[in-house]
Amino acid sequence: MSFEKVVFVAADGSEAEKALQELTERYGQNIPENADVIVALGGDGFILEALHDYMDLRVPIFGMHRGTIGFLMNHYSANALTERLNKAKEVTLHPLRMIAETANGESREALAINEVAMLRETRQAAKLRIHVDGRERLPELICDGALISTPAGSSAYNLSVHGPVLPLGANVLALTPISAFRPRRWRGAILPHTARVTFEVKEPDKRPVSAVADREEVRQVTNITVSEDRNMAITLLFDPEHNLDERILAEQFQP
């Protein structure tokens, strides 16, 4: 694929804004609707924002690190950008679709590229009942919360709560508890990517829970269903020497 029409977007911050100016002066600027590729300048948080903002355009996104955390980013250089884009390797991701029902009867949907997390809202621990594909698998999990992670997001929040790092292309999802109190020794599960997981909030009035799909939060939920949306495809571009598969594998050997 030839990447001739490039759109540059940047996070707030001096480094990202300086890079935006440098790149647009050298390569010009287009509008997203006509773009062959979007180049995102910032950190991991910003590229996730860009992926959500431009998801419907189905345009590949190439991130360059001009922010804080750069796990999903390529190194920054203003030189030979067209050549880099044409040599880049594609990674296709499928987001999670969350359907959350609230205490007032409202139903909300959101997509998550990294994870969907259920989190307690007060000092009271959450109580969750978990079903997988319609079958009850855990009648009661007393915890601070729980999350379902994609392989691309498994090295983020999921890893910080001791969940497994998942290789890309493994076609699995990670279901990980957050500070589980009972059952104390339950460490979570690895599920097929086709799984449909439902969380039922027990005692929602006494123990309110919020559901967070990447950047969208729904408070006082009573029932949350999460499944992979195979109809949505997101394409990330990586320099061959900085491919995401290698980064995810290397993350498992970090001290």
Between CA 192 and CA 128, with CA 157 as vertex, the angle to 5 degrees is: 65
Same domain, 106 and 211: yes
Peptide bond into 32 cis (omega under 30): no
* Cα separation values, 138 from 69, 128, 181, Å: 35, 8, 14
What is the reported pLDDT for 58? 92
Q: What is the largest CA-CA distance in the chain?
A: 59
Q: Is the pLDDT of residue 139 over 90?
A: yes
Total structural domains in the chain? 2
Same-domain pairing of 142 and 21: no
Q: What is the pLDDT of residue 70?
A: 83
Give the angle 168-153-32 at the CA atoms, nearest 5°.
Answer: 90
Confidence of residue 243 (pLDDT cuts 50, 70, 90): confident
Cα–Cα dist 192/171, whole Å: 6
pLDDT of residue 4: 84
Whether the CB-CB separation of 191 and 132 falls below 8 Å is answered with yes
* Spatial distance between the Cα atoms of 210 and 11, rounded to a whole number of angstroms: 27
CB 88, CB 237: distance < 8 Å = yes
Confidence of residue 168 (pLDDT cuts 50, 70, 90): confident
Are 171 and 191 contained in the same domain? Answer: yes
State pLDDT tens for residues 61-85. Answer: 999 999 888 888 999 999 999 999 9
User: Is 202 part of any domain?
Assistant: yes
CA–CA separation, 130 vs 197, rounded Å?
7
Judgement on whether residues 67 and 111 belong to the same structural domain of the protein = no
Task: Return the CATH number at 117.
Answer: 2.60.200.30
Return d(Cα 100, Cα 39) in angstroms, integer. 32
Positive or negative torsion for Cα 22, 26, 31, 34: negative
- Would you state the pLDDT for residue 18? 95
Q: pTM of whole model > 0.85?
A: yes
Q: Are residues 130 and 210 in the same domain?
A: yes
pLDDT, tens digit, 9 for 90 and up, residues 199-241: 999 999 999 999 999 989 999 999 999 999 999 999 999 999 8
Residue 1 has pLDDT above 70, yes or no: no
What distances in angstroms separate CA 165 from CA 44, 105, 172, 176, one per listed residue? 17, 36, 11, 11
Task: Supply the range of the domain harboring residue 21.
Answer: 6-93+233-251
Q: Please list the active-site residues.
A: 44
Check whether residue 151 and residue 241 sit in a common domain.
no
Question: Token pair of 192, please?
Answer: 């097929």
- Is 1 part of a structural domain of the chain? no
* 183 plus 73 within the same structural domain: no
Q: Using an 8 Å Cβ cutoff, are 236 and 61 in contact? A: yes
The pLDDT mean for the chain works out to: 93
Position 246 confidence tier, pLDDT thresholds 50, 70, 90: confident
What is the domain-level CATH number for residue 59? 3.40.50.10330
Asked if the structure places residue 86 within a domain, the reply is: yes
Question: What are the residues facing 117 on neighbouring strands?
Answer: 147, 212
Q: How far apart, in Å, are the Cα atoms of 55 and each of 10, 125, 233? A: 17, 35, 8
Domain shared by 100 and 210, yes or no? yes
Instruction: Give me the pLDDT at residue 200, please.
Output: 98
Q: Is 15 a member of any domain?
A: yes
